[in-house]
Amino acid sequence: MADALHTLTIAELAPKIKAKEISPVELTDAILAQADRLQPILNSFITLLPDQARREAKAQEAAIMRGGYRGPLHGIPIGIKDNLATAGIRSTVGSKVLAEHVPSEDAHVVSQCKAAGAIIIGKENLEEFAAGSTSNNLHYGAVHNPWHVDHIPGGSSGGGGANVAACVTFTSLGTDLGGSVRGPANFCGVVGMKQTYGRVSQRGLMVTSFNGDHIGPITRSVRDSALVLQVIAGYDPLDPSTVPVPVPDFSAKLGQALRGLKMGIPTNYYFDLVDAEVETAVRQAISALEALGVEAREVSLPAMQYAGALRIAAMADGLVAHEPYLSSHREDYGPTVLYRTLAGQFVLGRDYAKAMKVQRLIKEEYARVLQEVDFLVTPSSPVAAWRIDTETVTLHGQTYPVRGPGSGMTARCTSPSNATGLPAMSVPCGLTSAGLPIGLQLIGRAFEEPLLFQVAHGYEAVSPARGRRPDLAGISR
């Protein structure tokens, strides 16, 4: 099945679609066949949209035949996380609370993808209310990791991570409040980008936090990530969280040499609690970047010892976001999300203010360090994907829960970048001895995504994970 349509990347497909060598209808049929084959195994969708997708594919093909090609996403089948509003299509946020909710308009990013000619094939499964790292959904069933189906795909955008890795979608739009794009990318061996806070509109992101949530792409390659971000980035006058800054060409630096760049290797926090196989893979990736001419410098982030305080603010934000539903549909909540959310009512104003002070101190510290280096390198997660039936993970002799209160360990490497708002992405850097993906996280300066793409693309070419896909994907190259 080498080079079967569903196994290609957006960058490979786009010029062929533009040249009318590949039909969006043919491509959509191939993707829907892959979705039909793997949905019973992965449970990666809450709502599949085959009829709508085929109608849209015909419309997009007709537009291309008329000479109306719109760009790299034109005719490309994609997935949308089910906490992003889609007009006329139920959008559940993975909860029974909103099981029958049908929005009247699209999220801004969905509108942008449609305008670019993308074809939505379904709404993807996730952790209930996007609140967790597993995607073990009580109401719609657990999402399975295509590398090992008895393991989690990460959360909360687990359906998107599983679909991209298994060649069910070419890209999926996920959301990232504590690592929910980068986590599934890490656990599923694909690329996940959380761009700078304010770069992409959050309008239409349902039941979200008011501080640090992002919408970002999950893709099969770094180049594809740049292409998708190009479509969804930009100032939205109806979303005050967006920043009116120019949108650069995110692909402009791809292929440029890395020699002369400086990377910061944190001496504290990020490597303090990490599995041995994960650390080995990340350290090898650092060595590979050095071989490409990047200078490594150790950096210290002492304020990160207080990073746990950031969760206090998140608890209070979560309670406020859920208040309308808690008063009317409390019985429809899963217990993990309910108890996690209710804890926010005990956060005092003074506690919240202190958490905001810590957040400011950490932001200042990252700003200082990123004047000394061009980007930071860390693990994407302390551990590889654990089994779906696992309740705890043991690391360095300590046991940590993987769901609910106390489960912050699973996102400890990704969540700081939500508090700082800095761009961060996960790129595959290897596999464990059990054949589970490991991710490398790159963190950059605000609004310097092109530099992160440059580094990630350079590393991707030498990564031991290059070209690796799970057997379920049906790819042989």
**What domains can be seen in the chain, in order of their start residue?**
5-473 (3.90.1300.10)
Expressed in percent and rounded to 5, the helix, strand and coil fractions of the chain are 40, 15, 40
Query: Which residues, at least 6 apart from 270, have a Cβ–Cβ distance to it below 8 Å?
Result: 378, 379, 413
Q: Give per-residue pLDDT as tens, 346-374.
A: 999 999 999 999 999 999 999 999 999 99
Length of the chain: 477
pLDDT at residue 210 in the model: 79
156 is catalytic: yes
20 is catalytic: no
Q: Give per-residue pLDDT as tens, 220-233.
A: 999 999 999 999 99
pLDDT at residue 2 in the model: 42
DSSP 3-state assignment of 401?
strand
Q: Give per-residue pLDDT as tens, 102-125.
A: 999 999 999 999 999 999 999 999
Cα–Cα distance for residue pair 258/276, rounded to 1 Å: 28
User: Catalytic pick from 156, 209, 225, 426?
Assistant: 156
User: Catalytic pick from 23, 135, 157, 180?
Assistant: 180
pLDDT at residue 3 in the model: 59
417 is catalytic: no
* Burial class of residue 95 in the structure, from the number of CB atoms within 10 Å of its CB (0-12 exposed, 13-18 middle, 19+ buried): buried
* 477: confidence class by pLDDT, cuts 50, 70, 90: very low
Percentage, residues of the chain above pLDDT 70? 99
pTM, two decimals, is: 0.97
User: Catalytic pick from 23, 81, 241, 415?
Assistant: 81
Q: Residue 1 pLDDT more than 50?
A: no
Tokens of 157: 């955008």
Percentage, residues of the chain above pLDDT 90? 95
pLDDT at residue 296 in the model: 98
Q: Give per-residue pLDDT as tens, 261-277.
A: 999 999 999 999 999 99
